[in-house]
Chain A
Amino acid sequence: MGFLVTTLIFVAVGIIASLCARICCNRGPSANLLHLTLVITATVCCWMMWAIVYLAQMNPLVVPILNETE
C-alpha cells in the first residue's frame, strides 16, 4: 500500500463520511455546510497526521538499533 493508495482511501472515507452526514442529519443547507466543513477538516487532519508519519518512515535516515539486553 503506497502513499497514493492510502491517500485515496482517506479521500473515499471523507466522501463517505460527508455523504453520511448529509443523509443522516440533513438540517437545511447551512447546517449541511457546517457538517461538511467539519467532516473535511477532520479528514484532512487525520490524513495529515498519517501522511506525516508515513513520509517520515519512507526513507529512514536512522534505523531501529535494538537494546543489548534484548
Chain B
Amino acid sequence: MGERGRGGCCPPMDLMRSEPMQLVQIIIPVESANLSISYLGDVGLIQFKDLNVEKSPFQRTYATQIKRCGEMARKLRFFRDQMSKAGLSPQARSLTQPVHSLDDLEAGEFFHSAMSNAEAHQTEYSSNQGGEESLETPLLSEPEVTTFDSTKQVKLGFITGLVPREKSMAFERILFRATRGNVFLKQAAVDERVIDPVSGEKVEKNVFAVFFSGERAKNKILKICEAFGANRYAFNEDLGKQAQLITETSSRLSELKTTIDAGLVHRGNLLQIIGEQFEEWNFLARKEKSIYHTLNMLSIDVTRKCLVAEGWSPVFASKQIQDALHRATHDSNSQVDAIFQVLQTREMPPTYFRTNKFTTAFQEIVDAYGIAKYQEANPGVFTIVTFPFLFAVMFGDWGHGICLLLATLFFIIREKKLSSQKLGDIMEMTFGGRYVILLMALFSIYTGLIYNEFFSVPFELFARSAYVCRDPLCRDSTTVGLIKEGDTYPFGVDPAWHGTRSELPFLNSLKMKMSILLGVSQMNLGIILSYFNARFFKNNLNTWFQFIPQMIFLNSLFGYLSVLIIIKWCTGSKADLYHVMIYMFLSPTDELGENQLFPGQKTVQLVLLLLALVSVPWMLFPKPFLLKREHNRHHGDSYEPLPGTDESLQSDVNHNSHGHEEFEFSEVFVHQLIHTIEFVLGAVSNTASYLRLWALSLAHSELSSVFYEKVLLLAWGYNNVIILIVGLIVFIFATVGVLLVMETLSAFLHALRLHWVEFQNKFYEGDGYKFYPFSFATLDYEEE
C-alpha cells in the first residue's frame, strides 16, 4: 500500500500530524475582558484552562452575571412557551445568521430591551387574561333568554350558573337526590367553549337554572354547585332590572370584546416580533453565559485590574488571537492592550486535527478508538482509503454498490438542506458518514467489477471468457471441466466460474489468499508508520529495537507466505503452502520434495526462520537495558549542577519535572515483554483475523446468489405475472434489508475492527486528549 515519505524534502502532510500547539497566557484588562473573550469565541481556536479549579461556582468572579444570564434564559423560555401556546411560529428560525447584529448589540442594551419587552408582554398578557375572565359574565345573556319563559310568576328561588359539560349529568342527578325531587333544573349547552376562571383553559360548559323552594334547599344546592365547580351568577328577579342587565351586559360585552381583540392583536404582533428575533436573543443569551463561564475560569489579579487566562491554542492561530485581542481593546476603548505570551510547558498538549467535511467522518472513526497522542502519526490519513477499500472487499457487488452510491448521493446533494434540520438518530449518523459511504460505494463498485458480480450475476464486460469446452460437443464439461484457452480474463474473475461446481473451491482459495496478502500489506504499512513516528519523535531506540525486528519478524513469516502465494500463482505449482509453512517450523532441515517452489528454498527458509527467531529477543532485551543506561546517564547529569543547599524553590521545580520519570527497570522490562509477546502472537492472530475479509465476502456473494436464484429465478420460472411480482417484491426487500442494510453494517464493523486492532496496534498509541476550543460555532449544538 502506498506510503509517502515525510522527510525534509516534503512539506508536512495535512492530517498526518496534529497541529502544533502552544500554551499561551493572555493578560486582559478587566474593562475589555468581556469583549475579548467574545472575540476569541468567534475565532474559536483557544481552549481555556480552568485556573480556579478549587473555587466553587458561587465563589467565582462572575457568579452574579451567570445568574443574570440564567434569569434571561428563563425569560426566553417563557417567551418560547408563550409562542408555542399561541401557536404562533414557535420556532421562527431566522435564516439570516444572527452574527450580523451581535457586534453592534450591546449586552446591556439587549437585556434592557428584552426585559422591557418581557414586562410589556406580561402585562399585556395578564390584561388579556383578566379580560377573558370577565368575558364569562356576559354569557348570562343566553341563559336569560332560555330560562325567562319558564320562571313565570311562581315565587320560587333560583340559581343560575355554568357547569362543565362532562359533569352536568352527575350534577343533575345529585341535585335531584339532595332535594328529593323538589327542584326544577333546566340545562342548555353553550355553543362556544368557555374559559374557566380557575384553570384558565377553555372547556365546554352547560348553562343551568335551578328552581327551588325554601332556604334549606338553597343552601344544599349552593354546596353542590361549589362541589361541582359550577360558577354561579347572580340573576335579578325583577323583570325590568333583568332587561336593564341585558343591555348593560351586552354593551359591556361588546366593549370588552373590542378590548380583547385589540389586546390579542397586540399580543400577536408582539409575539411575532419576538418570534423573529427569538433565536437571535436565545443565541445571544447562551453566548453571554458561555462568555461568563469562560471568564470564571480566568484567574483575577490581586489588584482586580486584569484577568489572567491560560489556554492551549494552535501555533498557526497566534496571529488571529492577537488580532482579536487588539480589536477587543480598540472596541472597548481600553487604554491598555491585552498581553499575549507563549508559555513553556512540559505538559502534553491537546490533539487537534484540522478536518474538513470530507475528512471529519474518517477522523471520527479513528477518534472513536482513541484520540491520537499529540503529533503522533494519524491513522486517519490511510483510513480514508483503506477503510472503504476493506469494506468493499467484503461488500464486492457492483449492483449493491450502485444502490449504496445512489443513497449516499441523495444525502450529498441535499447536504445543505439536511445539515440545517434535525434528523433522527440513525439518519443523523448516516448523514454524518455520507462521505465514508460514498467512498465505500465507489470501492464496492470497483471490487464488484473485480468479483464480477452484479446482484450476483456475472457479465462478460471486459473480454470473452478464457475458458472453453475441451471439444466441440462439450461432453466432459461436467466431469473434467472446461479448459483455459488464450489469455486470462483481463479484469476480475472470469464469468465462466459462475454457477459451476468448482466455483466455491476456486473463490475460497482466491479470497483466502487475497485476505492474507491484503492483511500483510496493511500490517506492514502500520509498522512502517511506527518508523515514521520513531523518526518524528527522534526515538532511535524504537527504530532499531522495535521497528526493524518487527519488520523482520512479520515479513520472514507472513511476508514469506505472501511471496510463496504469488510464486505459486505465477508458476502454477501444485505445492501445498500449509505444508510448507508448517514444516518450516517443525523440521526446517527436511527436504521439501514436491512442495519446493523455487530452488534454494530450504536455505531461504532456514535463514528466514533464524531471522524470525533472532528478532524476538532483539525486540525484547536491548530496549529496556538501553533505556536504563540512558536514564542513569541523565540522572547523573541532572544532579551535578544542583547546588543542593538553599535553593529549595529550584529543587522543588526540578523535582516536579523529574518526579514522574522515576525509572523502574522491572516495570519497563515487563512492559517490553508484554509488548513483544503481543506482537509475536499478534502477528499470527492478526493475519488470521484478516481472513474475515474472505468470510464476509463469501457470505455476501452466497447470500446475494441465494436471493437471486431462489427468489427471482424461481418466481420467473412459474411464468405467472403475480408470482413474478411477489418474487420481485421479496427479492427487493431481501436485497435492501439483508444485503444493503445488514451486510453493510456487518462489513462496516469488520472493517472498523481491522483498522482499530490489526492496523492501529502496530503504531498507534491513542492516549491523547482532544482539543475543545472555546467557540461560539459549537454553541448551537449544545443543550436542547
* Cβ–Cβ contact A56 & B450, under 8 A: no
Task: Report the Cα distance A58→B572, complex, angstroms.
Answer: 8
Given contacts A52-B513, A64-B481, A67-B478, are A45 and B501 in contact (CB under 8 A)? Answer: no
B510 interfacial by beta-carbon distance below 8 Å: yes
Q: Mark A33-66, 1 if CB is under 8 A from B, else 0.
A: 1101110111111101110111111111111111
Report the contact-size class of chain A (Cβ under 8 Å from the partner): 35 or more
Tell me which residues from 568 to 603 in chain B have a Cβ below 8 Å from any Cβ of chain A: 569-572, 574
Chain A residues whose C-beta falls within 8 Å of the C-beta of B513 in the assembled complex:
52, 56
Restricting to B458-483, which residues have a CB under 8 Å from any CB of A?
Answer: 466-467, 477-483
Task: Report B504 CB to chain A, min CB distance, Å.
Answer: 10
Name the one of A33, A43, A57, A63 contacting B488, with C-beta atoms under 8 angstroms: A57
User: Per-position contact with A for B370-407: 1 when CB-CB < 8 Å, else 0?
Assistant: 00000000000110111001000100000000000000
Contact among B14, B493, B506 with A62 in the assembled complex (CB-CB below 8 Å): B506
Residues A66 and B500 in contact, CB atoms below 8 Å apart: yes
Asked if A1 lies at the interface with its beta carbon under 8 angstroms from chain B, I say: yes
Q: Say yes or no: A57 contacts B500, CB within 8 Å.
A: no
Q: Contact: A52 with B389, CB < 8 Å?
A: no
- CB pair B393–A49 under 8 Å, yes or no, is yes
Q: Does B98 sit at the interface, judged by CB under 8 A?
A: no
**Interfacial chain B residues near A31, Cβ < 8 Å:** 14
Contacting pair B492 A50 (CB below 8 A): yes
When C-beta atoms are compared, the residue in chain A nearest to B482 turns out to be A64
A44 to B484, CA, bound (A): 28
| Contact between chains at A63 and B11 (CB < 8 Å) | no
When chains A and B are docked, how far (Å) is the Cα of A31 from the Cα of B11?
9
Q: How far is the CA of A48 from the CA of B450 in the complex (A)?
A: 11
Q: Contact partner of A63 among B447, B487, B502, B517, CB < 8 A?
A: B502
Residue of A nearest to B467 (CB): A64
Contact A46 B446 (CB under 8 A): yes
Whether B4 lies near A64 (C-beta < 8 A) is no
B494 at the interface (CB under 8 A from A): yes
* B16 at interface by CB-CB < 8 Å: yes
Minimum CB–CB distance from B713 to chain A (whole Å) comes to 13
Shortest distance between the CB of B497 and any CB in chain A (Å):
5
Asked whether, in the complex, the Cβ of B481 is within 8 Å of the Cβ of A37, the reply is no
- In the docked arrangement, what's the CA distance between A49 and B491, Å? 10
User: Given contacts A1-B490, A67-B500, A68-B478, are A45 and B389 in contact (CB under 8 A)?
Assistant: yes
> Is the CB–CB distance between A53 and B510 below 8 Å?
yes
Given contacts A33-B13, A45-B389, A57-B489, contact A63 B481 (CB under 8 A): yes
Q: Does A6 reach chain B (CB closer than 8 Å)? A: yes
Q: Which residues of A contact B494 (CB under 8 A)?
A: 57, 64
Q: How far is the CB of A23 from chain B (nearest CB, A)?
A: 18
Q: Is A41 a contact partner of B2 (Cβ separation < 8 A)?
A: yes
List chain B residues, Cβ under 8 A from A40: 2, 4
Q: Is B681 an interface residue (CB 8 A)?
A: no
If A49-B393, A55-B570, A66-B477 touch, does A44 touch B2 (CB 8 Å cutoff)? yes
Q: How far is the CA of A38 from the CA of B3 in the complex (A)?
A: 10
B14 touches A63 (CB 8 A): no
Question: Closest Cβ of chain B: how far from A29's Cβ, in Å?
Answer: 4
How far, in angstroms, from A63 to B479 measured CA to CA in the complex? 11
C-alpha spacing A70/B469, complex, angstroms: 14
Provide the bound-state CA to CA distance between A12 and B192, in Å: 81
Q: What residues of chain B lie closer than 8 Å to A46, measured between beta carbons?
A: 389, 446
Cβ A45 vs Cβ B1 within 8 A: yes
Q: How far apart are B212's CB and chain A's nearest CB, in angstroms?
A: 91
Rounded to whole angstroms, the CA-CA distance of A34 and B11 in the bound complex is 10
B185 on the interface (CB 8 Å rule)?
no
When distances are taken between beta carbons in the complex, the residues of chain A under 8 Å from B571 are 59
Contact with A along B523-559 (1 / 0, CB 8 A): 0000000000000000000000000000000000000
Rounded to whole angstroms, the CA-CA distance of A44 and B1 in the bound complex is 6
Which residues of chain B have C-beta atoms less than 8 A from A65's C-beta? 477-482, 500-502
Whether the Cβ atoms of B13 and A56 lie closer than 8 Å is no
- Complex Cα distance, B481 from A54, in Å, reads 20
Q: How far is the CA of A61 from the CA of B482 in the complex (A)?
A: 12
Please measure, in the bound complex, the distance between the C-alpha atom of A29 and the C-alpha atom of B16, giving whole angstroms. Answer: 13
| B262 is an interface residue with CB less than 8 A from chain A | no
Per a CB cutoff under 8 Å, which of A37, A52, A70 touches B517? A52
Docked complex Cα distance between A13 and B514 (Å): 23
Q: Which of A6, A42, A60, A62 contacts B490 (CB 8 A)?
A: A6
Contact A57 B493 (CB under 8 A): yes
Instruction: Name the residue of chain A whose CB is nearest to the CB of B447.
Output: A49
The answer, yes or no, to whether B503 is at the interface (CB within 8 Å) is yes
The distance in angstroms between the C-alpha atoms of A42 and B385, with both chains bound, is: 6
CA distance A52 to B477 in the complex (A): 27
Residue in B467, B481, B493 whose beta carbon sits within 8 Å of that of A53 in the complex: B493
Report yes or no: B13 in contact with A62, Cβ–Cβ below 8 A: no
> In the complex, how many angstroms separate the beta carbon of A49 from the nearest chain B beta carbon?
5
In the assembled complex, the Cα of A44 lies from the Cα of B455 at a distance in Å of 26
Query: Which residues of A sit under 8 angstroms from B510, Cβ to Cβ?
Result: 52-53, 56
B496 at the interface (CB under 8 A from A): yes
| A6–B514 CA distance with the chains assembled, in angstroms | 19
Cβ contacts under 8 Å, A62 to chain B: 481, 502, 505-506, 509
Q: Is the CB of A64 within 8 A of B492?
A: no
Query: Any chain A CB within 8 A of the CB of B499?
Result: yes
27 A-B contact pairs sorted by A residue (CB < 8 Å) = A29-B11, A33-B12, A37-B2, A37-B381, A41-B382, A41-B385, A42-B389, A45-B1, A45-B389, A46-B389, A48-B1, A49-B514, A52-B517, A52-B518, A54-B491, A55-B570, A57-B488, A57-B489, A57-B494, A58-B572, A59-B572, A63-B481, A63-B483, A64-B503, A65-B500, A66-B477, A68-B478
A residues sitting closer than 8 Å to B (CB atoms) are: 1-2, 6, 29-31, 33-34, 36-38, 40-46, 48-50, 52-68, 70
Other than the known A56-B509, A63-B467, what 20 A-B pairs have Cβ atoms closer than 8 Å?
A: A30-B13, A33-B4, A33-B14, A36-B4, A37-B13, A37-B381, A40-B2, A45-B386, A48-B1, A48-B517, A49-B393, A58-B488, A62-B502, A63-B481, A63-B502, A65-B478, A65-B482, A65-B502, A66-B499, A70-B499
The 10 A-B pairs of least Cβ separation, nearest first, read A59-B572, A40-B2, A65-B481, A29-B11, A41-B2, A63-B481, A64-B500, A55-B569, A41-B385, A34-B14
